Amino acid sequence: MTCTSPSGGTATETGNVSGIVYNANGSPAANATVHFYPVSYNPYTKSLGKTKATGAATTTATPDSTTTDATGHYSVKLDSGSYNLLASGSGNQAYQDSIAAVTGATVHPNDTLRTPGSITGVIAMPGGGNPETVFIIFMGTGSVWFPSDTFGHFATGNMAPGKYPVRFLTTTANYKVLDTTLTVLAGTVDTLAAPIQLQFNGIPVPQGLHIQYDSLKEIVTLIWNKPTTGTKVASYNVYREQSDSTNYDLIKGGVSDTTWQDSTGVQGNTYNYRVTAVDTISNEGGRSGAVGVTITSVYTFLKKFGQQGSGSGQFLSPNHIAIDASGNYWIADGNRNKIIKFDSTGSFLLEWGNAGTNSGELNNPYYLGIDPMGNIVVGEWGGNRIQKFDSLGGLIICIDSAGLGIAGLSVDETGCMYISTGSSGIQNYIYKYSSNGILSKSWTLKSLYLNNGLLVRKGKVYCAAANIGNSGQSYNNNVIEVFDTTGTALSIVQDRQGAGSEIIDSRDFAMDSLGRLYDLDTENGRIRIFDSNLNYFASFGQVGIGASDFSHPQGLTINRQTIAITDISPAAVHLFKLP
């Protein structure tokens, strides 16, 4: 016979290998096939390995083979070197490693065919790679196997019993080659006790990404696992895709921890998230698997009431809203110059008001409050006066603020009336009047701008204000200035807690029985809620055309467990149930 040398040409037959192959019962194995593979033969590359100097692949090689005669004997001539023997016949197999072929010498590697076995196991790629890209190479043989799924499960199929040098190689970048030894047992399907772990030395793909969603605060918390392999991770980037989009946008870079919260989602929208790792020189790795969530709220929409129009009980521009001791709603309609009363279910009861600038007349009423006697206190948009009426519209008091324009109005539990006045960019004031209209106190605010929110409850005065922000826009630096009812400054709180970079335009405040402050942001159609310490707590609402959505909400009030919110286009009052 002619043997093939490792260089691919005709070999000089320098070593003689002669032996006998037996069946398991001891009889000669006639017509058995016998293969000889160089021990460094790689069946994946068909080569004998790599040179030490350059790392380049050496010459290819093919196995030498022969067949046993009727007595089980075989004989071949091989180039000097080390070989593995693989024999098969009658469904059984034999394996023998490291047979030395030496010039001028003869070796006799007898062997016995035995029942083949197989190995099953799992390949793990901690960096997030796909195990289906892994080659399981039994070196010095003709066997290459592959995982059957993305979980890394593999099975070798039938192989001769013996110990095999095995190489795990993946086409996925940044994984090291793993060389190990696996043993095939005769007649046994052997399951490996532990996964085969490929060492990752690249930027890991974050694993275990999942979501915890707080429907009260509408906060999406993303959590993922800290990588245990690969290059050092300096930070993470978070990407978000809206359900009707095909593109992921970077919404947060440089996250240092393995958790991050998103409070910018819009109610009713579904979002998908992915996370990437970033190494110490700002290289970004692959994206994690996606996880999704739909933004819902526990602030349940109940219904709307009111109708747009200029007729009795209808709205043109419903502004601030207040509630009396009986649970009736009172609404200031600026364009109709009316004060309109509804019962707690939204049924129209009465309205009053005549347009004009004389005492007792209304000129674009916007701000509204109710004193302990059930009297209605009205402030006019941009005007200088507040007026107190009885519940049927009879004038009680008219007060000229002598200021630069009313920005907010509130009535406290004792009947004292407060207004905030000012003009953009100059000194702003809060005036306190007794229940009979006598000015008792005034003080200045530190902020250069006023928003329309003003509320006095439980001995504290809350005033929405703003200063110039980094972008030069006052609305980007919203604050709530807090005083006691004598004008002593208590604190200044950032109103932007829990918000992104969007403009915030506070139009009204309300407070529930737990002391939580509700801030109506007309720009975003959101009600932003702060706990009794003025820490951001939750939010709900959005601009849109849905049944519960807003266009330009203007005022809000709380009736026990119901919050009522006015909107001007289409004009209506929205009722939501508090959790």
CA 193, chain centre distance (Å)? 35
User: How far, in Å, CA of 264 to CA of 498, rounded?
Assistant: 8
Six-digit token pair at 49? 């390995």
Q: pLDDT by residue (tens digit) across 155-167?
A: 999 999 999 999 9
Q: Which residues contact 318 (CB under 8 A, 6 or more apart)?
A: 306, 331, 332, 333, 340, 554, 555, 566, 567, 568, 571, 572, 573
Six-digit token pair at 490? 């208590």
User: How far, in Å, CA of 376 to CA of 26, rounded?
Assistant: 112
pLDDT of res. 54:
54
Q: Domain 118-197: which topology?
A: Immunoglobulin-like (2.60.40)
pLDDT of res. 9:
40
Closest C-alpha to 301, from 268, 332, 334: 268
Q: pLDDT by residue (tens digit) across 401-431?
A: 766 689 999 999 999 999 999 866 677 999 9
More confident residue, 286 or 217: 286
Q: Which residues contact 224 (CB under 8 A, 6 or more apart)?
A: 206, 207, 208, 209, 210, 236, 258, 259, 275, 288
Q: Which residues pair with 330 in a beta bridge?
A: 322, 341
User: How far, in Å, CA of 149 to CA of 350, rounded?
Assistant: 72
Q: pLDDT by residue (tens digit) across 359-395?
A: 999 999 999 999 999 999 999 988 889 999 999 999 9
469 pLDDT band, cuts 50/70/90, is low
More confident residue, 545 or 74: 74
Q: What percent of the chain has pLDDT over 70?
A: 93
231 pLDDT band, cuts 50/70/90, is confident
Mean pLDDT of the chain: 90
Q: 161 preceded by cis ω (within 30°)?
A: no
Do 230 and 152 contact (CB within 8 A), yes or no?
Answer: no
What residue type is 100 in one-letter code? A
DSSP 10: B
Do 6 and 42 contact (CB within 8 A), yes or no?
Answer: no
User: How far, in Å, CA of 293 to CA of 540, rounded?
Assistant: 16
pLDDT of res. 3:
39
More confident residue, 92 or 51: 92
Domain boundaries of the chain, sorted by first residue: 15-112, 118-197, 210-294, 300-577
pLDDT of res. 467:
84
pLDDT of res. 481:
97
The architecture in CATH of the region 210-294 reads Sandwich (2.60)
Do 81 and 101 contact (CB within 8 A), yes or no?
Answer: yes
Name the 3-class secondary structure at 206. coil
Q: Domain 300-577: which topology?
A: Neuraminidase (2.120.10)
Q: Which residue has the tokens 């709220």?
A: 297
User: How far, in Å, CA of 251 to CA of 479, rounded?
Assistant: 25
pLDDT of res. 49:
64
227 pLDDT band, cuts 50/70/90, is confident
Q: Which residues contact 551 (CB under 8 A, 6 or more apart)?
A: 525, 543, 567, 568, 569, 570
The DSSP code sequence of 286-327 is PPPPPEEEE---SSEEEEEE--BSSSTT-BSSEEEEEE-TTS
Mean pLDDT of 39-60: 70
Least confident of 1-5, 132-136, 328-332: 1-5
SS (H, E, C) 347-386: CEEEEECCECCCCCCECCEEEEEECCCCCEEEEECCCCEE
**Residue 401: in which H helix or E strand, if any?**
none
Six-digit token pair at 453? 């929110």
Please determine, for residue 21, whether its predicted confidence score (pLDDT) is greater than 60.
yes
In whole angstroms, how far apart are CA 408 and each of 386, 421, 437, 538? Answer: 11, 7, 17, 24
The architecture in CATH of the region 15-112 reads Sandwich (2.60)
The DSSP code sequence of 406-463 is EEEEEE-TTS-EEEEE--TTS--EEEEE-TTS-EEEEEE-S-SEEEEEEEEETTEEEE
CA 372, chain centre distance (Å)? 48
Mean pLDDT of 454-467: 95
Q: pLDDT by residue (tens digit) across 78-113?
A: 888 899 999 999 999 999 999 999 888 889 899 999
Please state, as a whole number, how many other Cβ atoms lie within 10 Å of the Cβ of residue 59. 12
pLDDT of res. 547:
86
Burial annotation 244-281 (CB, 10 A radius, 16+ → b, else e): eeeebeebbeebeebebebbbbbbeeebebbbbbbbee
Please state, as a whole number, how many other Cβ atoms lie within 10 Å of the Cβ of residue 523. 15
Q: Which residues pair with 137 in a beta bridge?
A: 144, 167
Sheet holding 449-457, edge to edge: 449-457, 460-466, 478-484, 489-494
Please state, as a whole number, how many other Cβ atoms lie within 10 Å of the Cβ of residue 415. 18
DSSP 27: S
pLDDT of res. 545:
87
CA 442, chain centre distance (Å)? 48
Q: Check if 15-112 and 300-577 are the same fold.
A: no
User: How far, in Å, CA of 262 to CA of 222, rounded?
Assistant: 8
In whole angstroms, how far apart are CA 148 and each of 153, 326, 365, 486, 542? Answer: 6, 71, 74, 77, 48
Q: pLDDT by residue (tens digit) across 165-190?
A: 999 999 988 888 999 999 999 999 99
pLDDT of res. 495:
86
pLDDT of res. 457:
97
127 pLDDT band, cuts 50/70/90, is confident
